Amino acid sequence: MGQGIAEMLAKNSLDVYMLEVSKDRLEHALHMIEVSLDKQIEKWAITSSEKKLILSRINAITEMEELADCELIIESITEDLDKKKEIFKQLDQVTSSDTILASNTSSLSLTEIASVTRSPERVIGLHFIHPVATIDMVEIVRGLKTSEATVDATKLFAEDVIQKKGVMVFESPGFVTTRLICLLINEALHVLEEGVATAEDIDNAMRVGYSFKYGPFQMADHFGLDSIQAALENMFRENGELKYRPSFVLKKMVRAGHLGVKAGEGFFKYDTDGDRI
pLDDT 10s digit of each residue in the chain, 277 long? 899 999 999 999 999 999 998 999 999 999 999 999 999 999 999 999 999 999 999 999 999 999 999 999 999 998 899 999 999 999 999 999 999 999 999 989 999 999 999 999 999 999 999 889 889 999 999 999 999 999 999 999 999 999 999 999 999 989 999 999 999 999 999 999 999 999 999 999 999 999 999 999 999 999 999 999 999 999 999 999 999 999 999 999 999 999 999 899 999 999 887 889 8
In Å, how far are 23, 61, 74, 120, 268 from 36, measured between CA atoms? 20, 20, 20, 35, 20
- Give the per-residue pLDDT at 139: 97
User: How confident is the model at residue 274, as a pLDDT?
Assistant: 81
Instruction: Please report the pLDDT score of residue 273 as a whole number.
Output: 75
Residues 6+ apart with CB under 8 A from 267: 199, 217, 218, 220, 221, 253, 258, 260
Q: Are 79 and 227 spatial neighbours (Cβ–Cβ below 8 Å)?
A: yes
